[in-house]
Structure 1
């Protein structure tokens, strides 16, 4: 994979002085180590989807574990359930990482999006001083004017038999008049101590490396690695009345009471049944 810097991009990279381009060379110096997880940090000015690009490279065996692919702008970014979204150039962090979680059993790979959520929330809290929470399974929540808003999301996709590409999108400097939907937010709107994207990206990737290595060293065991308890402690969904819209149609309504050993959300229904949900859209029905 040939590194490409945002500085090689078109002359519009300084069009918004409040949103300077990422410094790819500095990011590589800070993150790429002989004994570390991250092998390369590749920054491009624009692409359709960093996940699609990295999945294609991994499938063709053209990228190794630890490659980080970052775009200053995505024009076909994808979320869960094939939802598409866009954001102004350099208004956020849009990146994907390639992981090969062997020898962790495949049945535990479903914890990777939740692990990433914990790592992202931890990194943002440390770097930007923003209090963050997680909405199951993959949303990052911040508080703006006393209101809970989504400031980021995570998408994990298999890439061949032995690899997973995890995509992360974080709204950093998105302004009120730029919000795609009323329920969206950003680190800036949440009162971040810094909106320097280089600083936030370094903190998030360092946190992700630490959690990933800890989880992998425990054979992917979410309890032994401390991941299950940490996720539950930071999950804003637990203890709430929720409605889970299931992928195949239908829904389950009740109280979210736990995240089980497989990473599924357990919902206690009015009928007294505890129903695990492995996928779907979860709607918070009651404020925390």
Structure 2
């Protein structure tokens, strides 16, 4: 599918007046500026995956750092390990960005999805007025009633030798009868004071620009940039006993005691051993 720019398309096939389209012109005006990170913002009405589209563009020819591709609807959105992410049209934020962290050693690029989580949680909390938390490694949580639920997910993928495409999906106005699974949530169900997607998208992208700039200036050092401290402060996984389900049917149970300098989750086992596990090593992370 070749996406086209939605802009302010009043002829859209969607008619839910509670879910107005994004204003592409206003988003560009508010985000693209001289000396800033964001180089272009494109909004398309529907596509399979913004991550796949942006990665394909980078493979086909030069794409400037800071390109942002937003879809009003994704039909083949993906999460980690190719898990599906589906939501009704215009019910959330579904977008990808292309980054080229040339100043940062590739070994530290694994921090980018965690950095995006900090940026998203911070931006959404401020703009929507909801409490947010992070589930290691790549979920954004909100509280619905007295229950933590996943409202957002992050997927980072290499795009050639020098670029990373990071996708973010956030449920904004999903109603209870629209949730893909009972454990999912949305900003609206969490009592958000603001659900205007233009406002929320600008807040997340500005927060991402801020954190990415700090991290890049520090050469990708998560501790020196303040990223490690911020992630640990917002990570709901820490302090809990969890079961890390690993490939091959293996599992590891322990208390999540820290996130280390490489972004790995450190589990203290009953045998008194501290075991780090990386995001790429884990199939599921569940309460023990």
Of residues 239-248 and 114-123 in structure 1, the stretch that sits farther from structure 2 once superposed is: 239-248
> What is the alpha-carbon distance in structure 2 between the residues aligned to residue 62 and residue 194 of structure 1?
37
> What is the alpha-carbon distance in structure 2 between the residues aligned to residue 240 and residue 256 of structure 1?
6
Q: What's 2:161 paired with? A: 161
Q: What's 1:182 paired with? A: 182
> What is the alpha-carbon distance in structure 1 between the residues aligned to residue 4 and residue 40 of structure 2?
8
- After TM superposition, give the deviation of residue 6 of structure 1 in Å: 3.9
- After TM superposition, give the deviation of residue 198 of structure 1 in Å: 0.2
> What is the alpha-carbon distance in structure 1 between the residues aligned to residue 112 and residue 249 of structure 2?
25
Aligned residue pairs: how many?
Answer: 284
> What is the alpha-carbon distance in structure 2 between the residues aligned to residue 33 and residue 6 of structure 1?
19
Contact 2:4 2:45 in 1 (8 A): no
Q: Which runs of 5+ in 2 are unaligned?
A: none
For the residue of structure 1 that corresponds to 2:202, the secondary structure is helix
- After TM superposition, give the deviation of residue 248 of structure 1 in Å: 4.4
- After TM superposition, give the deviation of residue 9 of structure 1 in Å: 7.6
Contact 2:7 2:25 in 1 (8 A): no
- After TM superposition, give the deviation of residue 47 of structure 1 in Å: 0.3
* 2:194 is the counterpart of 1:194: yes
Please report the TM-score for the alignment, with normalisation by the length of structure 1.
0.96
Contact 2:32 2:40 in 1 (8 A): yes
Q: What's 1:105 paired with? A: 105
Q: What's 2:76 paired with? A: 76
Q: What's 1:11 paired with? A: 12
> What is the alpha-carbon distance in structure 1 between the residues aligned to residue 29 and residue 68 of structure 2?
13
Of residues 268-277 and 171-180 in structure 1, the stretch that sits farther from structure 2 once superposed is: 268-277
Q: What's 1:64 paired with? A: 64
* 2:149 is the counterpart of 1:146: no
Q: What's 2:277 paired with? A: 277
- After TM superposition, give the deviation of residue 10 of structure 1 in Å: 4.9
Q: What's 2:234 paired with? A: 234
Q: What's 2:53 paired with? A: 53
> What is the alpha-carbon distance in structure 2 between the residues aligned to residue 256 and residue 163 of structure 1?
31
**1:11-62 Cα deviation digits (max 9, x unpaired):** 324x000000000000000000011000010000000000000111112224
- After TM superposition, give the deviation of residue 250 of structure 1 in Å: 1.0
Of residues 138-147 and 56-65 in structure 1, the stretch that sits farther from structure 2 once superposed is: 56-65
For the residue of structure 1 that corresponds to 2:8, the secondary structure is helix
> What is the alpha-carbon distance in structure 2 between the residues aligned to residue 244 and residue 143 of structure 1?
23
User: Pairwise CA RMSD of aligned residues?
Assistant: 1.5
Contact 1:223 1:261 in 2 (8 A): yes
> What is the alpha-carbon distance in structure 2 between the residues aligned to residue 10 and residue 244 of structure 1?
48
